[in-house]
Structure 1
Amino acid sequence: MRRLLPVLLAALSITWTGTAAAAAPAELEYVALGDSAAAGPLIPAQELMDLGCLRSTRNWPSVLAAKVGATTFRDVSCSGATTDHLTTSQSTFTGPQPPQLDALTPTTDLVTITIGGNDIGLVGVALGCVNVFPEPLGMSCKDRLTAGGDQIAAKIDAYAAEFAAGLDAVKARAPRAEVVVVGYGTYIRPGGCYPKEPIWARDADYLQASVHRLNTVLGKVSADRGATFVDIEPPSVGHDVCAPITEKWFEGLVPTSAAAPLHPNARGMAGIGGFVAGSLGVSRL
Structure 2
Amino acid sequence: MPRAATTTKDDGTDAGHGVTSRRKWPALLAGCALLATPLATAVAGPAQAASPAGSGTSYSGTSYVALGDSYAAGAGIPASSGGLCLRSDRSYGRLLAASLKPVSYTDVTCAAAKVGALTTAQTDVGIRVNGPQLDAVKPDTKLVTLTIGGNNLGTSDLGFVDVVVACSGLALTNPFGAPCRDFYKDTLGKRLDAVAPQLADGLQRIHAKAPGAKVLIVGYPSVVPDDPRTCLGKMPITTGDIAYLRTVLGDLNKMAARTAAANDATFVDTLTPTTGHDPCSADPWIEPLIPGKPTLPLHPNATGERVRADAVLNALR
State the TM-score, normalizing by the size of structure 2. 0.75
Structure 1 residue 186 and structure 2 residue 222: aligned?
A: yes
Letter of the structure 1 residue corresponding to residue 184 of structure 2 = L
The 2-side partners of 1:252 and 1:136 are apart by 20
CA positional deviation for 1:125: 0.8
- Do 1:64 and 1:273's aligned partners in 2 also have CA atoms closer than 8 Å? yes
5 Å-filtered alignment, 1:24-63, equals: 26-47=60-81, 50-63=82-95
Kindly provide the CA deviation profile for residues 79-120 of structure 1, in whole angstroms up to 9, marking residues without a partner as x.
Answer: 011111111111258843111111111000000000101112
Quick one: structure 1 residues 160 and 273, their matched pair in 2 at CA, closer, same or farther if it must change by over 3 Å? same
Corresponding residue of 1:83: 115
What are the within-5 Å matches in structure 2 for residues 1-285 of structure 1? 11=58, 26-47=60-81, 50-92=82-124, 95-121=128-154, 122-131=160-169, 133=172, 135-136=174-175, 140-146=179-185, 150-189=186-225, 190-192=227-229, 193-244=231-282, 247-281=283-317
Opposite residue 91 of structure 2, the aligned amino acid is N
Would the alpha carbon gap of residues 134 and 235 (structure 1) be closer, same or farther in structure 2, given more than 3 Å must change? farther
**AA aligned opposite 1:140:** P
The 8 Å contact of residues 178 and 239 in structure 2, kept in 1 or not, is answered as no
Provide closer, same or farther for how the CA distance between residues 136 and 130 of structure 1 changes in structure 2, counting only shifts above 3 A. Answer: closer
Instruction: For residue 109 of structure 1, give the secondary structure of its aligned residue in structure 2.
Output: strand
Does the 8 Å CA contact 2:175/2:238 hold for their aligned counterparts? Answer: no
How far off is 1:151 after superposition? 1.2
CA spacing shift, 1:220–1:138, aligned 2, 3 Å: closer
CA shift, 1:194, in A, is 2.0
Q: CA RMSD in A?
A: 2.1
Letter in 2 for 1:32: A
Task: Compare 27-36 and 187-196 and name the one that shifted more.
Answer: 187-196
| 1:52 Cα offset (Å) | 1.4
Q: CA deviation at 1:75?
A: 0.8
Q: Please give the secondary structure, in 1, of the residue aligned with 2:98.
A: helix
Classify the secondary structure of the residue corresponding to 1:195: coil
Gaps of 5+ in 2: 1-54, 155-159
Q: Any unmatched runs of 5+ in structure 1?
A: 1-7, 12-24
For 2:228, the aligned partner's letter is G
Deviation at 1:176, TM superposition (A): 1.1
Q: Distance in 1 between matches of 2:267 and 2:258?
A: 8
Radius of gyration: which is bigger? 1
Q: What SS is found at the alignment partner of 1:44?
A: coil
